[in-house]
Amino acid sequence: MAEVVIVKDSIEGGSVAAGLIARLVRRKPDAVLGLATGSTPLSTWQALAKLNLDLSKVRGFALDEYVGLPVGHPQSYRSVISREVVGPLRLTPEFVRVPADSGPLETAGDDYEQAIRDAGGVDLQVLGIGRTGHIGFNEPGSSLASLTRVKTLTEATRTDNARFFDSPDQVPTHCITQGLGTILRAKHLVLLAFGAAKAPALAGAVEGPVTSSLPGSVIQLHPNVTVIADEAAAAELKFADYYRNAWNSRLDWERD
């Protein structure tokens, strides 16, 4: 079962997640982080930046990228990662990869998988979850064993992401994303969910059946998952009291 941490708000959630990353980097200064974009991880990056750690040796792999945006477009995930993660955390830009950032699109998925393997695998993967239950851009129906590949976005996700663009029709129709199988290979998954809109997807992911209809449910196949959710996102979790109790009764060695 995933460890589920229910927090007051996204600020507290970001600080819990940043603490997990800090603990990893203190132990392994060249740790490999899986980087998520979107609104959800922002408080994590902000809390981590405040810790003022030397993250210059950390390597990073973004979860996903739009297909079809011009290089340097402010909403490309390469730009978002540079602006919201690499800059504030003072990561080394050359150590941070985004899918399809070099070479032809046709082989970009395999190339990315190889690059992750060459780096020794992802140590800690930060994840958000979409209203559709997607993680990365793995929309409902994605194979639970999928690897990095090009996908078509659902209209629900395009609508959700339209807020970042001047008009909804500018949201790309395609993306390239780490697969659910890729995500499962990371050593530790940290799934963040904030706000009431995420409550049904989060409950399905944590407590529902494992199904490609709700891609986030694949986390139940992973042995080392931390879910960090605020009260609103946790509202539909059946075992919320148990999760609170388990978190509050952590043993000393589980607390550092």
The residue ranges that bind ligand PGA (CB under 6 A) are 38-40, 128-130
Nearest to 37 by CA among 140, 157, 196: 157
CB of 130 to ligand PGA, least distance (A): 3
Q: What is the DSSP string of 120-143?
A: T--SEEEE---TTS-BTTB-TT--
Burial of 130 (0-12, 13-18, 19+ CB in 10 A): buried
Phi-psi group of 80: left, alpha or beta (phi > 0 → left; psi -120 to 50 → alpha; rest → beta)? alpha
Q: In terms of CB distance, is 44 or 95 closer to ligand PGA?
A: 44
- State the Cα–Cα distance between residues 163 and 234, nearest whole angstrom: 24
Beta carbon of residue 57, minimum distance to ligand PGA (angstroms, whole number): 27
Q: How far is the CB of 160 from ligand PGA (least distance, A)?
A: 7
Smallest distance from ligand PGA to CB 45, Å: 12
Nearer to ligand PGA, 5 or 95 (CB): 5
Q: Which is nearer to ligand PGA, 128 or 181 (CB)?
A: 128
Number of helices (H) and strands (E), helices first, in the chain?
10, 10
Smallest distance, ligand PGA to C-beta of residue 215, A? 10
Question: Of 6 and 111, which has the nearer Cβ to ligand PGA?
Answer: 6
What is the separation, in whole angstroms, between the first and last Cα of the chain? 21
Return the residue nearest ligand PGA (CB atom).
Answer: 38
Q: Which is nearer to ligand PGA, 111 or 129 (CB)?
A: 129
